[in-house]
Structure 1
């Protein structure tokens, strides 16, 4: 089965080292299985209730489309997760690389030193060093690492190294400029996080703290004033507790999603 995805999505698949043709087969087959299961259950219910069975066709098409779109999200989510992991401490690795270069170490030795760090980003430098140790020319190894890199910052570092090797420019100065750029980008992300955090905190104070406490008090007062109209029983209390839990979880995941990867 040929690749059925767009060029942009194919790039995402290649960065996750996923074969587009194989993923196309997997996505279509999985979507068909899910759609058949759901539409089969719906068809059985329709027949049991004496309703027209052709509604199952609509359910099949809708289930297939939804399942296919959800499966398509998996590589993108994986790439986003890898990017966050790589960029969480990439600045530390880049500074270590600059330090080794300024101390007089060769590029290969400096990259080898970075690959031994106890950081998340060092895993990508280990892959690069593995290709180099297997005999791949350093330019080709860097080109391969750039092709599979989930991070623009990491790709930029490798691209500048490759350019310096080809042109013979001062690698230390280049890496220093990149470190400064990455530092500025991190500061920008943190500042943006602070700006987003202020309104979210205000909404949380209103919806997650003030409104539940005042609302509960008002409901209790109203129930005491209107005993025959408003009745508060165990079911109502459990419903209020459930809604409060939903609100708390919503804000919890919202705050976590706003947090930039550089602060992990």
Structure 2
């Protein structure tokens, strides 16, 4: 016997949709928590490599350049190389974070 659409109960469809939505919500919460657990170490590495190391490096270069005969340490080329290195690291971290982001639309 084939049922026509008029024979279906509205509450059955509503209950099924509610169960599907609840299951998808739970999956999304699990994905977000997993992403959070991977994002914490990544943010720590980002802070170390892209913020702290260049800041300390520039400070050390400036201090070393004040000593006699060490002026070549803080040349303009060194600062340009540091800028390019920091920009490269920014790009790499953004790519890693983008690739680790969960796709919640599925």
- Give yes or no for TM over 0.5: yes
Aligned counterpart, 1:205: 47
What is the Cα-based RMSD across aligned positions, in Å? 2.4
Q: 1:174 to 1:257 in 2, by over 3 A?
A: same
Task: Say which of 84, 96, 99 aligns to 1:242.
Answer: 84
Per-residue deviation at 1:202? 0.8
Aligned counterpart, 2:67: 225
String of CA shifts for 1:145-198, please: whole Å, max 9, x gaps. Answer: xxxxxxxxxxxxxxxxxxxxxxxxx44333322211111000001111111111
CA distance in 2, matches of 1:227, 1:248: 33
Aligned counterpart, 1:178: 20
Aligned counterpart, 1:214: 56
CA distance in 2, matches of 1:226, 1:177: 74
Q: Does 1:253 align with 2:95?
A: yes
TM-score between the two structures when normalised by the length of structure 2: 0.75
Q: 1:182 to 1:226 in 2, by over 3 A?
A: farther
Larger RCO (alpha carbons 8 Å, 6+ apart):
2
Per-residue deviation at 1:229? 7.7
CA distance in 2, matches of 1:232, 1:256: 35
TM-score between the two structures when normalised by the length of structure 1: 0.33
Residue 262 of structure 1: SS of its match in structure 2?
coil
String of CA shifts for 1:195-254, please: whole Å, max 9, x gaps. Answer: 111111111111111111011111221232252484332222111110010111111222
Gap runs ≥5 in structure 1: 1-105, 107-169
